[in-house]
Amino acid sequence: MKIAVIFSGSGVYDGTEIHEGVFTLLAIKKAGAEAVCFAPNIDQHHVINHITGEEMPETRNVLVEAARIARGDIHDLALFDADKMDALVLPGGFGAAKNLTKWAFSGPEGEINAQVKAAILSMAKAKKPIAGLCMGPTVIAKALEKVAFRPPLPSVAPTRRLPMI
Amino acid sequence: MEKTGATTEMKTIDEISIDHHNKIVTAPCYMMEADIMQVRNNVQKAIEALVGMVP
Residue B47 within a domain: yes
Average pLDDT for A64-90? 98
Average pLDDT for A85-94? 97
Give residue A80's domain range.
2-143
Spell out which residues of chain A touch residue B1, defining contact as CB-CB under 8 Å: 108, 137-138, 141, 153, 155
Phi, psi of A2 (to 5 degrees): -110, 125
pLDDT digit string, tens, across residues B9-25: 888 888 898 888 889 99
Residue A85 within a domain: yes
Residue B15 within a domain: no
Q: How would residue B46 be classed by pLDDT, with cut points 50, 70 and 90?
A: very high
DSSP state of B51: H
DSSP notation for chain A: -EEEEE---SSTTTS--HHHHHHHHHHHHHTT-EEEEEE-SSB-S-EE-TTT--EES---BHHHHHHHHTTT-EEEGGG--GGG-SEEEE--SHHIIIIIB-HHHHGGGS-B-HHHHHHHHHHHHTT--EEEETTHHHHHHHHTTTSS---EEE-----S-----
Query: Using CB atoms, which residue from A26, A127, A154 is nearest to B9?
Result: A154
Q: Say what the pLDDT of residue B6 is.
A: 78
Residue B4 within a domain: no
ipTM score assigned to the predicted complex: 0.95
Q: How would residue A149 be classed by pLDDT, with cut points 50, 70 and 90?
A: low
Residue A60 within a domain: yes
Q: Say what the pLDDT of residue B32 is.
A: 80
Which domain CATH number covers A106?
3.40.50.880
Query: Using CB atoms, which residue from A108, A131, A135 is nearest to B47?
Result: A131
How far apart (Å, rounded) are the C-alpha atoms in residues A113 and A40? 8
Size of interface A-B (CB pairs under 8 A): 169
Neighbours of A146 (CB within 10 A): 7
Residue B35 within a domain: yes
A8 has a pLDDT exceeding 50: yes
Total domains present in chain A: 1
Contact across the interface for A131 and B10, Cβ inside 8 Å: no
Residue B2 within a domain: no
Contact across the interface for A28 and B47, Cβ inside 8 Å: yes
Q: Say what the pLDDT of residue B7 is.
A: 78
A69 vs B: CB within 8 A: no
Give residue B29's domain range.
22-55
* Least Cα separation, residue A66 to chain B (angstroms): 19
Residue A155 within a domain: no
Average pLDDT for A90-112? 95
